[in-house]
């Protein structure tokens, strides 16, 4: 499980304790609490996706604990996945296989 202490911090422009809603964008506040039940911060979620290999809400639950309580944060976790997952190569436009 990745902890907030082990995660890299996302740059933020102001002092924040992660409890407000003034940071509207995903990725804008490293200390924002994404999962309130298990107190998992935004930087932990991002680190799990970028370097931990998380590709689903289930992966994030296993790696960080986020989303394993009331599930209210699942929609936010999906937003982080949509933004921070590396793009998947689209092979549909490549030339046909020789075999």
Cβ–Cβ < 8 Å for 10, 30: yes
Instruction: Look up the CATH number of the domain holding residue 77.
Output: 1.10.10.1100
Task: Examine residue 15 and state whether it is found in any structural domain, yes or no.
Answer: yes
Tokens encoding 16 = 């924040």
pLDDT over 80 at 71, yes or no: yes
Task: Examine residue 23 and state whether it is found in any structural domain, yes or no.
Answer: yes
Task: Examine residue 98 and state whether it is found in any structural domain, yes or no.
Answer: no
Q: How far apart are the first and last CA of the chain?
A: 43
Tokens encoding 27 = 């990725």
pLDDT for the residue numbered 32: 85
Per-residue burial over 60-77, b if 16 or more Cβ lie within 10 Å, else e, is bbbbbbbbbeeeebeebb
| Selected residue with higher pLDDT from 69 and 93 | 69
Cβ–Cβ < 8 Å for 46, 26: no
pLDDT for the residue numbered 8: 38
- Model confidence pLDDT, tens digit, residues 24-60: 667 667 788 999 999 999 999 999 999 999 999 999 9
Count of domains for the chain: 1
Task: Examine residue 66 and state whether it is found in any structural domain, yes or no.
Answer: yes
Domain of 48, in residue numbers: 4-84
pTM to 2 decimal places:
0.66
């Amino acid at each position: 499980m990745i902890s907030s202490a082990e995660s890299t911090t996302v740059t933020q422009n102001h002092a924040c304790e992660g409890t407000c809603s003034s940071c509207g964008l995903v990725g804008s506040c490293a200390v924002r609490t994404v999962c309130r039940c298990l107190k998992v911060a935004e930087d932990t979620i991002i680190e799990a996706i970028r370097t931990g290999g998380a590709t689903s809400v289930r992966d994030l639950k296993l790696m960080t604990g986020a989303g394993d309580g009331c599930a209210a944060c699942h929609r936010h976790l999906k937003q982080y996945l949509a933004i921070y997952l590396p793009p998947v190569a689209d092979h549909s436009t490549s030339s046909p296989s020789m075999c």
